[in-house]
Structure 1
Amino acid sequence: MRYGNALRDEITLPGTTPLIGIYDMHSASIAARHYNGFFVSGFGFAASHYGLPDIGFVAWPDMVGFVERLRPAFPEHHLLVDIDDGYVDHEVACHVVRRLERAGASGVVLEDQKRPRRCGHAEGKAVLPLDEYLAKLELVLAARDDLVVVARTDATEEREILRRAEALAKTSADVVLVDGIRSTELVREVRDVLGNKPLLFNQIAGGKSPRLSLSELDELGVNVAVYSTPCLFAAHDAIDRALVELKKEDGRLPNTTEEGGIGVEAATRLLERNLGGHRPVRSEVPA
């Protein structure tokens, strides 16, 4: 299956395509029941695999290894992967792109940040000179076969955002992302300078960007929306609340049969789906 073309086709459909941020195989197993597209975010990966913030600790072999585990379990899901700045060096970036494509990734996101890098919704970001980033981007584009490539800018000043967006629109990148974009007005301006180039919008709870529905994003001309951390943050909250309750009950576990919670039977049923590859439940996938 040509996973890049499948995602490309989805992006051309009417409406905004949602891709849900997952951080491990278990979160992917749950998300797969509701959506047919995943996003492997740098934030979620750094948190789950290293217990560290999203400031450049991700090692590319770990990311490739994760995708190699994801794809056999979810053979029909779109799988967009955050590769940060391509792990600094352009030769490494090209190698990682080839490895991810062989592993079954649908696409990658390549940013223009320079080290030390930051989460796209954090303060203190700095970007590479545009020519330097464009040179790296062109090498990555030449290295891929079918893979979707999202060109991402982390510029923060409005004039520079629009200058870079216009430059990215002229490349053969499939999609453009302005990360940490702060207003719907600026989304509209970016949409205008991109012309027909698809636009991606990144939403993260507590981030810099406005909270917008898929309908609102569609009205703004956004083609793809990635939700970086809903699973990670939900797990954070649920685990904390469960352990507070366990301590309150003097270590007595809840009765999941009576209280409708998740127990070993329900968890096992979910994970058994991965034995033969999880097929998305079409009736549960938003239109």
Structure 2
Amino acid sequence: MNHPNRLRAAIQADGTTPLIGVFDMFSASLAARHYDGMFVSGFGFAASHYGLPDIGFIAWPDIVAFVQRLRMAFPQQHLLVDIDDGYVDPETACHVVQQLEAIGASGVILEDQQRPRRCGHVDGKQVLPLEEYLAKLDLVLRSRRDLVVVARTDATEEEEILRRAKALAATDADVILVDGVRSVDWIHKVRRVIGDKPLLFNQIAGGKSPRLSLTELQQLGVDVAIYSTPCLFAAQTAIDQALAELKQADGRLPEHVPGAVGVSECLTLLEQNISRHHDRAPAEATH
């Protein structure tokens, strides 16, 4: 199964393709119930695997190992992977891209941020000189076989946003992302400057970008939408609330009522990830 080409076909189809940010195998198990695609979010991965903000702590072997586990459990899902700046060095970026493609990733996002990096929706971001980023991007593009590559800029000045978006659209990158875009008007501006190149939009609660439906995004010419943190933020809210209630109840667990999750419901979810339960295509005849 060619995972990159499956994602590429979804991007080229009508509508806006949603990819849900997952931060561990459990959140991915829930996301797979509702959506066909996942986004391996650096924000979520840094939070869940290190307990740290996404400002450059992620080690590339950790992200590769996580994607390998995801692919084993979810053989049909699109997997778009955040590789930050390619872990600083262009040669490392190429190595990581080849590793991810070999284990079944569908695509990667490569950004132009300078270290120390920041979440794309906070202030204080700095970007590499454009030519330096383009050289790194070119190496990555030449090192992949079929992998979908999203070129991302974190520029914040209006003139520089458009200059970089236009330059990225002129490369062989499959998709363009301007992160932290602040308004519908700016989505229109970016859409115009990149021509027919597919456009990705990043939605994050409490971020700088407007909240838009998939229907609205389609009308704006957006081809892919990543939802970086709904699973992570929902988990933070639910866990905090559940533990506060447990403490208030003097440690007595709540009654297990219909619709609540208990042992059986949790095991039912997780058993679907066992490989023997995966749908398989018929074996090809041999001669």
Establish whether TM, by shorter chain, passes 0.5.
yes
- Give the aligned partner of residue 283 of structure 1: none
* Alignment size in residue pairs: 279
RMSD: 1.1
Equivalence for 1:275:
274
Do structure 1's residue 170 and structure 2's residue 166 form an aligned pair? no
Distance 1:279 1:215, change over 3 A: farther
- Give the TM-score normalised by structure 1: 0.96
Give the corresponding residue for 2:73.
73
Q: What is the letter of the counterpart of residue 275 of structure 2? A: G
Where 1:238 maps in the other structure, the secondary structure is: helix
Match of 2:208, SS state, is: coil
Match of 2:132 in 1: 132
8 Å CA contact 1:73–1:278 kept in 2: the answer is: no
Q: Which residue of 2 aligns with 1:265?
A: 264
Q: TM-score by structure 2 length? A: 0.96
Give 1:111's aligned residue. 111
Residue 96 of structure 1 corresponds to: 96
The separation in 1 between residues aligned to 2:229 and 2:108, in whole angstroms, is 17
Q: Which residue does the alignment assign to 2:3?
A: 3
Q: Hey, what's the Cα distance between the residues in 2 that align with 1:151 and 1:128?
A: 13
- Give the match for residue 63 of structure 1: 63
Query: Which residue does the alignment assign to 1:246?
Result: 246
Work out the CA distance in 2 between the residues paired with 1:9 and 1:216.
21
Query: How far off is 1:260 after superposition?
Result: 2.6
Matching residue of 1:198: 198
Q: Displacement of 1:120 after TM fit?
A: 0.5
Identity %: 71
- The equivalent residue for 1:51 is 51
Q: 1:175-230: per-residue Cα shift (whole Å, max 9, x none)?
A: 00000000110100000011110000000000010011101101100000000000
Aligned-pair distance for 1:279? 6.0
User: Quick one: higher RCO (CA 8 Å, sep 6+), 1 or 2?
Assistant: 1
DSSP 3-state at the match of 1:150: strand
Separation of aligned partners in 2, 1:29 and 1:16:
22
Q: Structure 2 counterpart of 1:192, which letter?
A: R
Secondary structure (helix, strand or coil) at the match of 2:210 reads coil
Paired residue for 2:285?
Answer: none
Equivalent residue number for residue 210 of structure 1: 210
Q: Aligned partners of 2:243 and 2:177: how far apart in 1?
A: 38
Query: Offset at 1:246?
Result: 0.4
Offset at 1:276? 2.0
C-alpha offsets along residues 106-141 of structure 1, whole Å, 9 cap, x if unaligned?
000000001011000011000000000000000000
The AA in structure 2 aligned to 1:228 is S
The CA distance in 1 between the partners of 2:12 and 2:26, in whole Å, is: 30
C-alpha distance in 1, partners of 2:5/2:92?
24
Segments of 5+ residues of structure 2 without an aligned counterpart are 280-287
Once superposed, which parts of structure 1, at least 4 consecutive aligned residues long, lie more than 4 Å away?
277-280
Q: Distance in 1 between matches of 2:215 and 2:39?
A: 20
State the match for 2:15 in structure 1: 15
For 2:273, give the aligned amino acid. Answer: N
